[in-house]
Amino acid sequence: MTDITSQTKAALAAIAAATSLDALEAERLETLGKKGWVSLALKTLGGMSPEERTAAAPAIQSARASIADALDAKKGALEAAALEEQLARETVDLTLPAVAAPKGSVHPVSQVMDELAEIFADLGFAVATGPEIEDDWHNFTALNMDETHPARAMHDTFYFPDKTGEGREILLRTHTSPVQIRSMLAQGAPIRIIAPGRVYRSDSDATHTPMFHQVEGLVIDKDIHLGHLKWTLETFFKAFFEREDITLRLRPSYFPFTEPSVEVDVGYSTEGGRRVVGGHGDAPGHAWMELGGSGMVNARVLEFAGLDPAEWQGFAFGLGIDRIAMLKYGMNDLRAFFDGDPRWLAHYGFSPFDQPTLSAGVGAKA
Ligand code: PHE
């Protein structure tokens, strides 16, 4: 009896003095562990007569209970202290310069823009840019859409307020086509450019976001015809999707700035719920998907841009970058592109060290 009382006292003192979880665990094994003295004492109860058991049991059980409570309490205290210590140790000093470990990743849109530039550079195209805050003349008028043109209504334009209060002069460009005008005015002909960038329309659902990305293409030279356009797009898509069985369909359409105008469709099939580009759209199990608009540059547009249509012709195209990125890398929700969620980027982003090159393949190895 006195034995148990003094042993318990000693155990509680040892528990109180434990400075680590390891020391505490050693104390637990010594008392409540399978071979601990409390457990052994409890076992002796089985061999006692009922009277002896009634006399001995309360002391052993209360020893077990007080030691178990003390172990629990001490464990909680040690764990809390360990967490405090870890939090103190892992404080991030935001004023330190970034270390070399590459944590960021390249957004799929940036990746695809790099891939586009690489492929078109090989075809002799330069990359041109224009302002995202555009004026009405470059975005509409010079592209053969005067004030009354119904096509303007289709663009759901974001306008800036202006002096007149009417807010119809300065806008967020609704397409990359104004870069056609700026390039022709700045450099004359011949021209071979692509112009990737952001465009804006007041439109938002699962497949439309108010800001999205296009790449414009423009070729101005002598004796250019639709065949050049088709070959150029076909060659681009073969390199971009890294497969030879790309089939394009040019479907008659209408844009004010091209004449004739054609919409560009590509054949695809669906594999495991995912659209896979390739094959003829009319083949069994295949269909056509629209990738963008194009056509021969309208003579009126050439005139607006200071070129003589009797001397120069050309083709232009506009493709949705987000859409071709989704197709190539298998994303299904456009809105996720612009959520800025680091988990999405960690999943779909690309190594900052990946350089798209034609020789190594422009497809990113994520
Ligand atoms: N700018 C057109 C659009 O945004 C696409 C296009 C570009 C069509 C060039 C023809 C030529 O829909």
| Segment 281-310, tens digit of pLDDT | 999 999 999 999 999 999 999 999 999 999
Q: What is the dihedral of CA 47, 52, 54, 56, to 10 degrees?
A: -90
User: Which atom of ligand 1 is closest in space to residue 217's alpha carbon?
Assistant: 9
pTM: 0.71
Q: Which of 144, 175, 298 to mutate to test the pocket of ligand 1 (most atoms within 8 A of CB)?
A: 175
Q: Using pLDDT thresholds of 50, 70 and 90, give the confidence band for residue 101.
A: low
Q: Using pLDDT thresholds of 50, 70 and 90, give the confidence band for residue 100.
A: low
User: Which atom of ligand 1 is closest in space to residue 293's alpha carbon?
Assistant: 8
Distance from Cα 265 to the centre of ligand 1, integer Å = 14
User: What are the tens digits of pLDDT across the range 61-81?
Assistant: 999 999 999 999 999 999 999
Distance from Cα 348 to the centre of ligand 1, integer Å = 28
Please provide the average confidence, as pLDDT, over all residues in the chain.
91
Distance from Cα 94 to the centre of ligand 1, integer Å = 45
Side chain identity at 45, as an amino acid letter?
L
Q: Which of 139, 177, 250, 302 to mutate to test the pocket of ligand 1 (most atoms within 8 A of CB)?
A: 177
User: What are the tens digits of pLDDT across the range 125-137?
Assistant: 999 999 999 999 9
Q: Using pLDDT thresholds of 50, 70 and 90, give the confidence band for residue 252.
A: very high
**290, 322 contact by CB (below 8 A):** no
Q: Which of 134, 183, 257 to mutate to test the pocket of ligand 1 (most atoms within 8 A of CB)?
A: 257
User: What are the tens digits of pLDDT across the range 225-245?
Assistant: 999 999 999 999 999 999 999
CA distance 18 to 15: 5
Give yes or no for a cis peptide into 58 (omega within 30° of 0): no
The label of the residue with tokens 């994303």 reads 331
**51, 73 contact by CB (below 8 A):** no
Lowest mean pLDDT among 22-26, 66-70, 158-162: 158-162
User: Which atom of ligand 1 is closest in space to residue 218's alpha carbon?
Assistant: 9
Distance from Cα 13 to the centre of ligand 1, integer Å = 82
Residues with CB under 6 A from ligand 1: 175, 177, 255, 258, 293-295, 316-318
pLDDT of residue 102: 57
Distance from Cα 320 to the centre of ligand 1, integer Å = 10
User: Which atom of ligand 1 is closest in space to residue 297's alpha carbon?
Assistant: 11
Beta bridge partners of 135: 170
Q: What is the dihedral of CA 138, 142, 147, 149, to 10 degrees?
A: -120
**290, 250 contact by CB (below 8 A):** no
Q: Smallest Cα–Cα separation from 27: which of 18, 38, 39, 40?
A: 18
Q: Using pLDDT thresholds of 50, 70 and 90, give the confidence band for residue 167.
A: low
Q: What is the mean pLDDT of residues 12-28?
A: 92
pLDDT of residue 207: 77
Lowest mean pLDDT among 23-37, 156-170, 260-274, 338-352: 156-170
User: Which atom of ligand 1 is closest in space to residue 180's alpha carbon?
Assistant: 9
Lowest mean pLDDT among 14-18, 70-74, 90-94, 315-319: 90-94
User: What are the tens digits of pLDDT across the range 191-228?
Assistant: 999 999 999 998 877 778 999 999 999 999 999 999 99
